[in-house]
Amino acid sequence: MSMFCYQCEQAAKGTGCTAVGVCGKQPEVAALQDLLVYTLKGVAFWADKARAQGKKDQEIDRFMIDGLFTTVTNVDFDADVISRFVAEGVRLREKAKQLAGACSGPIPAAAQDWALPSSHEEQVKLGELHGVKDYTVDADVHSVREIITYGLKGYAAYADHARILGKESDETYAFTHKALAALLDDSLGLMDYVGLAMEAGRINYVTMELLNQAHVEAYGHPVPTKVQLGTSAGKAILVSGHDLKFLEELLKQTAGTGVNVYTHGEMLPAHGYPGLKKYAHLAGNFGGAWQDQHKEFQEFPGAIIFNTNCIQKPADSYKDRLFTWGLVQWPGVKHVDGWDFSAVIKKAQECPGFEEKPGQEIIVGFGHNAILGVADKVIAAVQAGAIKHFFLVGGCDGAKSGRNYYTEFAEKAPKDTVILTLACGKFRFNKLELGDIGGIPRLLDVGQCNDAYSAIQVAVALSKAFNCGVNDLPLSLVLSWYEQKAVAILLTLLHLGIKNIKIGPSLPAFVTPNVLNFLVENFNIGPITTAEEDLKQILG
């Protein structure tokens, strides 16, 4: 069985995975995920028509988000689970069709009354017929369609986190139907899809703003907080992912049990929230970015649980201590349904746990509220010439070579510059001692990838303070990407008109030369080169 997937930065040979995913995705999983996306487009066709008549359905709306997030890189590797998603999509397609009523125009194949085969093998074969390659449309049109698809997948993750905290956006739901339905419309041209991609960027901004609101209402604004990288004596659970509500519930259930909770990867920023840092047994952060889990998890003497994407094929040395939750699934790994974490706690209590071993401390919690709280000092430092330039250096980390560029960039950035960072890309340099400028740390950890919203708020506030546009600020964006959330954030930056972005370590395989030229000509997007050359070019 063959496959083709190029949705992440690790695509084999820079073109696409064809035998097995570099992420560990098997061909049957790839085929079923492609079939799920095809199914979602069919549901969206009818749901979009229903909404045009003022009709909508919460079950359908929520399913679209779950289905898209399920296909994000490093989320669901269980073919049986994805098959059940497809079956549910077929059921909801019929529900959406009934809601929409009669259709006078042409009905695309994805929205017609096709049935899901009963056998797993036939389902996989059907999925292979609806892969990401499409030779029936212009290559540039297909490229932008793929960009839109991945942008939708990216913001679906943020919409999922927000919904778990009780926040939903009908605007996000409506656009999801509209965009997926448009991907079936061959009457649309290239610039129609470019406009739709820009709108996807706007919707991602709306969704990130909603998630930020959910986080702040539940846990308060992040505040600068020192995080211990050493260990505390006692049993331990390691939490990897992004979902803060999950962490809160786990902290509640482990209180008084003698089990300490450690963050991993994108959970690191959780330490800055007052509503979470109040738990004394939120002991610190263990390990770095997601791609090092094979080595690090073997060394963690407790239970480990994933609550969002970033899981890799587990090693036998820790697989029996590993759990998944939410949409994350791996065949043979214990999955926790709902909010009862007693099995995870029990496993932690059976493990040896840590000895007391203090380590380095790093600071997190520089969300927009914290930075803008000292905006007068920042502005004064700029006016006095103490701060010459700001860099936003962040995004996804990954295993492919070339990412040491971001370490070198942070090390070689002049001492009169400030680096804002976010997402797991910061693990390339967040343990460096970069000092401060007049009491302002030179490295400001803004938070998770969705906290690009905070970084944007800082940029907008500075532009107002200096009475100029964001592109006129002494601010440069040097981004790393890996998966679809990075695509969504890039579309947001383009929607906001932000230019001169450098991207690495490589450019997406799904972007054609003509589409890349469009981005270069209109937004001056460019690939990273070397840290020395890029700093020289940026700083003139």
Q: Convert the pLDDT of each residue in 441-474 to its tens digit.
A: 999 999 999 999 999 999 999 999 999 999 999 9
> Which residue type does 270 have?
A
Q: Residue 162's pLDDT is what? A: 98
Mean pLDDT of 5-10: 96
pLDDT in tens, 128-176: 999 999 888 999 999 999 999 999 999 999 999 999 999 999 999 999 9
Which neighbouring-strand residues pair with 239?
A: 263, 305
Residue 35 has φ and ψ, to the nearest 5°, of -65, -35
In this model, does residue 2 exceed pLDDT 90? no
Question: Burial level of 192, CB count in 10 A (0-12/13-18/19+)?
Answer: middle
Question: Burial level of 116, CB count in 10 A (0-12/13-18/19+)?
Answer: middle
Mean pLDDT of 498-502: 97
Mean pLDDT of 512-534: 96
Predicted confidence band of residue 401 (pLDDT cuts 50, 70, 90): confident
pLDDT in tens, 269-312: 999 999 999 999 999 999 999 999 999 999 999 999 999 999 99
Take residue 381 and report the two structure tokens written for it: 């430092």
- Distance, in Å, from the CA atom of 12 to the CA atom of 18, rounded to the nearest integer, reads 8
Mean pLDDT of 209-229: 98
- Distance, in Å, from the CA atom of 325 to the CA atom of 424, rounded to the nearest integer, reads 20
CA 417, chain centre distance (Å):
27
Mean pLDDT of 53-80: 98
- DSSP-derived letter for residue 71 is T
Predicted confidence band of residue 356 (pLDDT cuts 50, 70, 90): very high
Q: Length of the chain in residues, anyone? A: 540
Share of residues in the chain with pLDDT > 90 (%): 97
The SS3 assignment for 81 reads: helix
- Distance, in Å, from the CA atom of 385 to the CA atom of 540, rounded to the nearest integer, reads 16
Pairing status of strand 417-422 against strand 436-437: unpaired
Average pLDDT in the chain: 97
Share of residues in the chain with pLDDT > 70 (%): 100
Q: Before 505, cis peptide (omega within 30)? A: yes
Q: Residue 285's pLDDT is what? A: 98
The SS3 assignment for 361 reads: strand
CA distances from 497 to 18, 492, 501 (A): 36, 9, 11
Pairing status of strand 322-325 against strand 436-437: unpaired
Domains, the chain, with CATH or none: 12-217 (1.20.1270.20), 225-350 (3.40.50.2030), 373-539 (3.40.50.2030)
In this model, does residue 244 exceed pLDDT 80? yes
Q: Against a cut of 0.75, is the pTM above it?
A: yes
Predicted confidence band of residue 1 (pLDDT cuts 50, 70, 90): low
Pairing status of strand 417-422 against strand 389-395: parallel
Check if the beta carbon of residue 121 is closer than 8 Å to that of residue 83: no
